[in-house]
Structure 1
Amino acid sequence: MNTGGVPNAPNPGTSRTFQFDLNDVCCLKSNPSLTGIIVRTYVDVYPLGPPEDDLMVSYTSVPQDVLTEYLQTGVPRKGYVIVQFKWVSQGCSLIHEDDLELLDRCINFGSYVKRPDDTMCGTVIGASATCTLEPIAYRNYDESLGEYGSVEFNERLMPHSRRRPGTESSRPLPIHDVPLSEIMHHEPFINDDLIIYHQKLGIIRQVDRDAILRVSNVPVSLVDPKDLEVPCHFDDNELIWMPKGQPCRVVDTNLRYMEHDSVIPGQYVCTKYKNMRGINGGTVPKEDPRSFAHGHVLSTPATEYKVEWLCTNVFGLGTCEIPNGIETLRASVFERDAVICDFENLSAGGTVNSATSLQIGDMIRFRDPKSAFQKYSYQHIPPEETFGYDMNMFHITSRKTALTVRWLDGNVTTEDIKCLRWDPGLDENIWPGSIVVLKDGIETMHWPGLESTSAYIRQLPSHRKHRESKIRARTVGVVQAVNIRERIVTVRWYKDPYLILLHGGQILASLYSKLGELGDTISQVSLYELDVFPCLERSHGDIVLLAPDTIHTSVLTEGSLSAYNIAGPCTFSYTSSLSLSQMHSYLKDMSLAMFHWEWFKSMTTVDTSPLPPRHSHHYQRKLSERSTADFVGQIIAIDVNGEITVRLAGTCRDVRVPFERIMMVMDGGFTTPLGVPAPGDLSTMSMNSAYTYKEEGPGVGDEEGLLHFDDEEGLSSDDDEDMSETTLREALRRYVNDEDGILLEEEEWVSGNDEEEEEEAISGSDVEDMSEIKCAVYRYVNSSSADDGYSEDADMKTENDSDFDMRDASDGVVYQSEEMTSPPGFLILEGPPPSDHHFISKDGAGGSALQVKRIQKECDILDESLPPGIFVRAWESRMDLLRVLFIGPEGTPYQYAPILIDFHFPGDFPRKPPEAFFHSWIGGQGRINPNLYEDGKICLSILGTWPTQNQEEMWSATKSTVLQILVSIMGLVLVQSPFYNEAGYEVFAAEGGRRVESDKYTEKTFLTTRRYIKYALDHQVSGMEDIVDWNYLPSRLNSEDCSRPLLLRRAIDTALAMIEHEGHTSSGEERSASAFVSRLSLGAVVMLRKYITELEALEVAATA
């Protein structure tokens, strides 16, 4: 790359008041005709690895060390971004942010946004976008002849494509101020389009296309479109490298031709004459078949579409074909009957403009060419001038967008899109218009008879956990506004609602539920007093399935209602594990239930017209002609009075629909934003070469400070093993503080050994040496937290005390004779494992002798080296299972909270890491950490559930241990500021960014984990009863016994002190409420008082 000029001195231009984000549209300040989008930044959540597959080009001066760092890591240095320019021949480039000008942002209708200098979040509820268009082709006017000449193509697509086009007087002028709602993509169907075809909703996954060229003024098609080449013109020192494995033909020093099969009309391309064939009887120019011909693309007609079907219209007429997997359809058949879900088409009478998807550089057509020609008087090219192909297409060269935003406080403003930033909305789930449930009005009840439900219901994610319970909600309302600082929500309540929620709030049992009429009562409540359940969530921009307002009488006679029908409104992502036929059955059951609803009977018109004879010719086609695409729509408005407006797919009409008519929200379980895998895909996502697990690769050798097992089964040739000290050190430093809050220092870790002695102590195989290291650590731990009640004697074992403790698993809570001693950190229990162990159904037999020996080694390590606050239980009858209880570290929002995780050693352990499951005891309340999902998933590199480029962070069969995993969870997950555990947010932590959002997340986590304490004391935590009793409750024999930690009382006292702090003011510097929260919000105080009352009642009951 060009590294001339002054190092580290990019063009400053004017000072920036914004930060570039992924997918921002920008241009070079030095060459505004070069436009592109930002595809990599230094804060990427999912780094893509070294740019081996990119065409790298230099456009600006960049220091050599900055370039080298990027080429090695794939992550640009802070202040630099990677820009992918619009045309493939322009490649991508590493550019300093000061050399770029922001043109536009990729913020869609329904997105969450923030102002750069504000923490207030809002929702985009409307857009007003206009653009400037440039035609891809034109005809020069010959004044002497008084007529137009032949069609010419825009020079942007010629080899010298990065030069600004000329400004000859004959070139047509751009068209300005064209609303985005008047234009559409130049192709009728493209990848990722939602379509409706023969009463099925699907998404196009792939389009195979041909290419029609104009060569020597003759139209030709191609034998193989993949043999096309596009020109790439580079000046000296501009080309960094070509994509890996990319065929490329060098013409001269500055011109190369690169194979590329994805072309667009108007593009200048090259191919061999032997790859051409005539069209409609035409002939190919007679040249050497091996020589190359140059021309322009006239058209790229589709030949085949590959479609993934999502669901069916169960209210449609006739029989709906249900294919398996992705279906391939001929273009001629597909395009005849398919309907695209084009919700940006603003029909007559439409009140909400949602068009934002078309970006600068996109190629488009007018929706209504005749009206557009009359309105804008552009130069129209007759199709006969281009062999019957319509070349009246345009590029978007600029765009101005104003977004209408409804903020959390209920205010609505209009903002320039460049003055906003896209926000993931991770810390907010309650918005104006949201339907919320008061927690105090929730009852969890037994729901009998579900074993008689359809088989597909049992495949839903939460069926096993919630199959015999239901949630009944009697206090339901609509959010009017949110005071985000004080966490206070203004709610308007329904008069007499009655909702039954199934599967933990994922499914609304509509047959037994009603919202009723919205009342006039409005009140303010703590945000933490409210619940938002997935089956009740509706958002701007959501694609939804609708029950029609008119159905044919023949549909009403099909099937009968099951006695225990529980199919009801939910999200697509919750049912995404179902096959298409199972999804059809689910929706069919829901439709049968709807026939029994009073509102459905009163608001639905029944069509009694006769159907065509079943045996008539083209019976199915005649039925299709009578069907509509109006069973799919997009939510374009949600009012604070509970009304929802939907734009229908087929007719683009805007209609108001009752809440009950929405059958399913297509919430993204079938598609994901660019470059961002869905959370549910993270544990199974296929990783690229940068993430590939290598048993013999990096991270396996005899590296400093790492436990080493000699064979592939993870067993050492020696009987004694070393601790994986590097990970221990890193994690323990995160959660062990001395009295002054200073982190553990390197020299304290090894208790006096110098660096050489440390290496010798760690890399050797002397257990006594390792014991000394561990004892030094734990002496430091206990000296700084002596009040915690953790006994060093009980939690630590030396080589002279290596035999495992054994206890009958049926002992339950510790008996009185055992009350005077702390439960051991590691213990193997007799008897069977608890029935609620997540992996109890896994096959526990069949492990090899080597695997069994490795598991015994893991137990040895746990028995002698567990840090305080971690308790592990195994079972003699099932040594492939572990249950671990973490006591939340002090100084974090998890302090004193019990965190329960189950582990399982799979059949391929230790080649693969243990499986882990987090028990989210109060599911539905939101995550307590970005790495701990409510469905039990734990995102951690060492567990193989999170991609990483650092091989040292991955599980290694020869070096990693279960202890590493446990210490990583304690020290790297249960931290002081969990908000920054969100992928890509580490950089904010380093810079102190997003502090307010972090404080809100921490506050919510603290409140939520107080309920974990209550749950553990209200319910027996199987296998951990004695641990919970000892750590949280006072002795029942000796009330003056001070050896117990009394964590329940500590939790109460800490909460009371934080509440007292909320009302505290002083003229001097204000002290913080705690080590992790500077000040509680008013909403948090309201909720914390309730939790204190509940915890105090448990304390009284324990001592009664």
Structure 2
Amino acid sequence: MAQVSDQIGVGDFYTLKSDSSLGGIVERVWHDTEAGPYTVNPHFLVHKDLPDHVRQQLKRTKLLPENFVVLRLLWSPRVDILVHTSDLLLIDKYFSRGDVVKRKSSDAQSGTVIGTSGTCDLRPHVSITPGQNERILRAEFTPKNTQVRDVNSCELEPYQYWTVGDTVIFDGWVGIIKDVGCTTTVQLEENGSVVVVDDAQDVRRIVPAIPRDFAYVRLSGKPRKREGSSAATLCYPGQRVRVKRSSLAKGRWLSGTFNAGIRPTAVVLNVCSVMLQVHWRLPRSNVQGTTGATKPPDLILEDQLETGDVKNYGFSRSLELAHGVVDPFASVTNMVPSEHVIRRDNSVTRMKLMCVKGGWQPEAGSRSFQIELQSGLSLKPDDSAWFVAEVTSTTSIVKIQWQDSSITDEPSAGICPYNEVDDHDVWPGEIVSLKGPETVQHDLEFERMLRTRAVGVVQSVNAVERIARIRWFKGADITITGEDYNVLVRPHSKLGKITEEITENSLYEIASYQALTKRRGDLVRLERRPKEVPGQSGISWIGEVMDLLPNGLLLVRLGSLDKPRDVKCSILDVTTVLSADDDTTDSDSSGSESSGEWEDDTIMAGQWPGSTIIEYEGSAPSDHDEQEWETDSDSHVATGSEASMDQDEAEEIVPPAEPNPMDLDSSNEPTEMEEIDSQEEPPTNESRSGPSAFEVLEGSAPKQASLAGSGSHTKEWLRAVSREHKILRTSLPEGVYVRTWESDMELLRVLIIGPLGTPYAHAPFLFDITLHSRFPTEAPTAFFHSWTNVGRVNPNLYENGKVCLSLLGTWDGDDDEEEWVAGKSTVLQIIVSLLGLVLVKEPFYNEAGFEALQGTAQSKPTSAIYSEKAFVLSRNFVAKALQNPPTGCEDIIEWLYLPSRNGPSLLRTIMSDCQRFLQDATSEEEEASAAAARQRLNFERYHIDSAKLSQGVLILLRKMVPDLEDRLRYEERLVAESQQVRTSGTDGAMEVERSA
């Protein structure tokens, strides 16, 4: 057992220090970044000594106090208790294949779970043995205190063969179980009668009484009743239950008869699944010769279940390997304490038993009964015994492949989930795209399509330095579409041939799109037929992704064959049925057309020894009735060598020429930090008066999609706009400039210069605020211009222009005071909110729910990574603003940044800082001390909480610096020429004066 830490997570199993017999599963944690506020239910309990101010805070906010968790006690599924982490002992954590984890939450490196194993302690309820008659089983209740320890989890499986969330295959379709209808067979305690209750919901297990000295009471302060109660939950053999009298009256009595006065307490003998409600996801591919045009019925009834045609996909099935060879991808079903399991039996009899309709014949005066199998089923007398048992404790081991490509086995209790995954994180085997060569195209059928020809496979990742080693495809041509490019729709996309060339690239210049990404644990449909293997039978068109190979292929396990086997295939030859990342995937789309041959039987680099690979036949791809894809034959094809990111021929990590004016980012108020560097001081030559903060311009306003369009407005609207202009003319914070146009006063163009003390220092951020016709009754709309195509520069600012702010109604505020109030709220408040709430020194915590992480040790490294990314992306904003100054702000940009305009010359400061960062990264040991001092100075200016910038950020910085340097040299030359002209003019005047 391990001490609890700040790495506690939802789903972990803990016991109370005060009573190790009281254990439970964590339901909520105080730093939960995904779920909403906890809803206090009537059964919620708190410690009787909980301070009153904490109790009142919980009632008022419904937010968990810091270092508190909600623990669901296992002896009663209806009791949630609020527990301080110091009162808990960690027993085990549970992970599945494909989960992303870390050793410590503060670590930079993460890994992917590729296999699981473990042991369980059990409390058997019923043991089952074959009788002398082949159709009769003998079931016997075991003594209450019986324990079976250290049972290998691979020998166990859930007692219920069908459960909600399982993946099923039937009639050429794959579906997900949404509900299971069960019958429950019980034996009444009063007279031993046996009755089958048709609705399992009418059978409630009897919850044990709360201990007399239990230290937890209701949130209101009232003690909870001690007597046992009943809880509606699926029951298991051996459990004491209470049955509705009306259900007893309607039940099927296998022995005895109904009596209205009988006590409704009983013991469960068996639970049988008799109905499945299924949501059908995807049909078998028509390439296989079966169209699957007609969906099966949503309700699968008992008669169909008994035929065996409905298959439950076996995610935990392992390969049958040679003696002594361990399946490296073996993964067991997580067995959580209080769950019921049955010892694994691979015979069809074990499976049929869950649907048995046979009679039950209790033996008088004993704790045993008989099970009669259905006709057509029988057991051999020498078949081994098996049992139904409750899991009391677990010990889990996880096999993890880390980002540096190493593989280790780790105790599950020492691992923590990586929930706040950075958008730029990738792992070995992932297929990624280089962002520079990407292009976005439009189509009549699809609104946006992204096309890329620079595609590679991640070999390993240096998580600290934010660098990935990538092996590139030659001749790749990929087109993807859909929301966030999550569906591969173009059948003629191809990856080409994998090369041997490996380059190092910044994580910030590559993208991992869902359409090109498969995760371990994904269930996929195979679009090409596997080669037949003699003696094999079962379903071969669906499998689970087990591994991402370094050559870009997937290792897929066909778990529905009678003997599971692994195959290798291209990512373009599979369609995701169920994603390990998101089990709500509802894609009914067909897979893309095949683009390559299946790999043969050979062992490949990175392949696990002992794996059995099936060769695939080259069946012809299906004909799709689609319009011809228009290609650009003259466009550049990025090969592996061309994507090597050479210093002289590097692709820009910014959008192609002419950036979309609909994309930009925002900034905040300057702070008092001019003393940091002498270069912050303004030039001492001519006046620095500069452009006015607010100005109404002549001419036409820029045409933006964010504008609602001008037109006639009411007098109330005109008065409101006039009021806003008056406020903005006199009250704008330093570093903020607002422009509007006489021809269209609806538009307020706001330019904010990033404040010192934040990663956004000196960077320009542009917003368009539209005072629509419903203003000021409703909040204005805001559009953020994002000058980056490598990710968001701030959690509140999206690349599509969305601005998340409670004043704008695009984000839920903590209280009503943060929302727009007609007649009271102003545009100035929006600007101040952008400065004070959005463009802050630690933008990572602006992400929804992440404020709970602020100040915690585990979040600091992630926050530092986000800040350095925000820093380097906002440096690119400067380059973009100078290249294409936004309409109406040209003079502001020039005055702020260019030395020739007699302004603050921020370009000099920015270039000086960038060069110092790059010099510090390559400084010799003897200069380390001086370099460190310069680093500290500059990091203070940008508040980058890190010892140094990562190599991944420096790679981007090196690519941005040359353009800025060229512009600065040009401006310095203009300044020098201007000074020379002034000097010459002064000397000439003096000469004329002397001559006179």
Same fold (TM over 0.5): yes
Change (3 A) 1:301 1:67: farther
Counterpart of 2:427 in structure 1 is: 431
Q: Is the 8 A contact 1:317 1:627 kept in 2?
A: no
Counterpart of 1:395 in structure 2 is: 390
Q: Is the 8 A contact 1:220 1:277 kept in 2?
A: no
CA distance in 1, matches of 2:280, 2:765: 40
How far the C-alpha of 1:53 sits from its partner, in A, is 1.6
Residue in structure 1 matching 2:526, options 546, 550, 554: 546
CA distance in 2, matches of 1:130, 1:885: 61
Counterpart of 2:299 in structure 1 is: 329
Residue in structure 2 matching 1:738, options 672, 678, 689: 672
How far the C-alpha of 1:645 sits from its partner, in A, is 0.4
CA distance in 1, matches of 2:714, 2:37: 37
Counterpart of 2:412 in structure 1 is: 417
How far the C-alpha of 1:333 sits from its partner, in A, is 7.2
Counterpart of 2:865 in structure 1 is: 1000
CA distance in 1, matches of 2:182, 2:725: 59
Counterpart of 1:342 in structure 2 is: 314
Q: Is the 8 A contact 2:28 2:71 kept in 1?
A: yes
Counterpart of 1:582 in structure 2 is: none
Counterpart of 2:981 in structure 1 is: none
Change (3 A) 1:176 1:1091: same
Question: Is 1:131 equivalent to 2:120 in the alignment?
Answer: yes
Counterpart of 2:917 in structure 1 is: 1058
Question: Is 1:186 equivalent to 2:142 in the alignment?
Answer: no
CA distance in 1, matches of 2:828, 2:23: 51
CA distance in 2, matches of 1:306, 1:945: 38
Counterpart of 1:1089 in structure 2 is: 958
Change (3 A) 1:253 1:826: same
Q: Is the 8 A contact 1:735 1:975 kept in 2?
A: no
Matches within 5 A, 1:88-487: 88=76, 91-116=79-104, 118-137=107-126, 152=141, 167=145, 171=146, 173-174=147-148, 176-180=150-154, 182-207=155-180, 211-215=184-188, 216=190, 217-221=193-197, 225=201, 228=204, 230-231=206-207, 233-235=209-211, 238=214, 254-255=226-227, 257=229, 260=232, 266-280=238-252, 286-288=258-260, 293-299=264-270, 301=272, 305-315=276-286, 317=289, 320=292, 328-332=298-302, 335=305, 337-349=309-321, 351-355=328-332, 357-368=334-345, 385=362, 388=371, 392-424=387-419, 425-426=421-422, 428-438=424-434, 442=437, 444=439, 451=443, 453-454=444-445, 457-458=446-447, 463=448, 471-474=451-454, 476-487=455-466
Counterpart of 2:986 in structure 1 is: none
Matches within 5 A, 1:863-882: 863-873=729-739
Change (3 A) 1:280 1:997: closer
Q: Is the 8 A contact 1:635 1:645 kept in 2?
A: yes
How far the C-alpha of 1:637 sits from its partner, in A, is 0.8
How far the C-alpha of 1:224 sits from its partner, in A, is 8.9
The SS at the match of 1:1007 is helix
How far the C-alpha of 1:885 sits from its partner, in A, is 3.5
1:654-673, CA deviations, whole angstroms, 9 ceiling, x for partnerless residues? 21112331344854786479
TM-align CA RMSD: 4.7
Change (3 A) 1:659 1:320: closer
- The code of the aligned residue for 1:979 comes to F
TM-score (norm 1): 0.65
How far the C-alpha of 1:236 sits from its partner, in A, is 5.3
The SS at the match of 1:538 is coil
Change (3 A) 1:329 1:874: farther
Question: Is 1:654 equivalent to 2:523 in the alignment?
Answer: no
Aligned length: 829
How far the C-alpha of 1:150 sits from its partner, in A, is 8.4
How far the C-alpha of 1:422 sits from its partner, in A, is 0.9
Residue in structure 1 matching 2:501, options 521, 543, 547: 521
The SS at the match of 1:1060 is helix
- The code of the aligned residue for 2:152 comes to V
Counterpart of 1:926 in structure 2 is: 791
Residue in structure 2 matching 1:81, options 49, 66, 69: 69
Question: Is 1:989 equivalent to 2:854 in the alignment?
Answer: yes
CA distance in 2, matches of 1:298, 1:915: 63
How far the C-alpha of 1:849 sits from its partner, in A, is 7.3
Counterpart of 2:875 in structure 1 is: 1010
Q: Greater RCO between the two (CA within 8 Å, min separation 6)?
A: 2
1:171-190, CA deviations, whole angstroms, 9 ceiling, x for partnerless residues? 4x42532234x433333333
Q: Is the 8 A contact 2:882 2:893 kept in 1?
A: yes
How far the C-alpha of 1:438 sits from its partner, in A, is 4.4
Q: What percent of counterpart residues are identical?
A: 28
1:132-158, CA deviations, whole angstroms, 9 ceiling, x for partnerless residues? 332234699xxxxxxx9985588xxxx
How far the C-alpha of 1:108 sits from its partner, in A, is 2.3
CA distance in 1, matches of 2:778, 2:175: 36
CA distance in 1, matches of 2:842, 2:251: 66
Change (3 A) 1:1082 1:275: closer
CA distance in 1, matches of 2:256, 2:751: 76
Change (3 A) 1:1025 1:327: farther
1:376-413, CA deviations, whole angstroms, 9 ceiling, x for partnerless residues? xxxxx996556759995322222222222222222222
How far the C-alpha of 1:83 sits from its partner, in A, is 0.7
Matches within 5 A, 1:684-1083: 735-739=669-673, 787=682, 821-822=690-691, 824-825=693-694, 827=696, 831=700, 834-835=703-704, 837=705, 839-840=706-707, 857-858=723-724, 860-873=726-739, 883-903=749-769, 913-923=779-789, 925-947=790-812, 949-957=814-822, 959-991=824-856, 993-1019=858-884, 1021-1022=886-887, 1024-1033=889-898, 1039=900, 1041-1042=901-902, 1044-1064=903-923, 1065-1067=927-929, 1070=933, 1071-1072=935-936, 1073-1075=938-940, 1076-1077=943-944, 1078-1083=947-952
1:298-353, CA deviations, whole angstroms, 9 ceiling, x for partnerless residues? 45555665544444444265554578xx9852544774654444322224356511
Change (3 A) 1:408 1:261: closer
TM-score (norm 2): 0.72
How far the C-alpha of 1:52 sits from its partner, in A, is 2.7
Change (3 A) 1:211 1:912: farther
How far the C-alpha of 1:1080 sits from its partner, in A, is 2.0
CA distance in 2, matches of 1:666, 1:917: 36
Change (3 A) 1:860 1:260: farther
1:491-540, CA deviations, whole angstroms, 9 ceiling, x for partnerless residues? 33345544456678666676554333333333444444544444333332
1:597-631, CA deviations, whole angstroms, 9 ceiling, x for partnerless residues? xxxxxxx99xxxxxxxxxxxxxxxxxxxx998644
- The code of the aligned residue for 1:225 comes to Q
The SS at the match of 1:393 is strand
Q: Is the 8 A contact 1:508 1:535 kept in 2?
A: yes
- The code of the aligned residue for 1:56 comes to F
Runs of at least 5 residues in structure 1 that lack an aligned partner in the other structure:
1-12, 141-147, 155-165, 374-380, 551-603, 606-625, 674-731, 743-783, 794-819
How far the C-alpha of 1:822 sits from its partner, in A, is 1.1
- The code of the aligned residue for 2:565 comes to R
CA distance in 1, matches of 2:667, 2:477: 51
Runs of at least 5 residues in structure 2 that lack an aligned partner in the other structure:
130-136, 322-326, 351-357, 363-368, 374-385, 586-665, 975-996
CA distance in 1, matches of 2:538, 2:722: 64
CA distance in 1, matches of 2:516, 2:537: 29
CA distance in 1, matches of 2:777, 2:435: 45
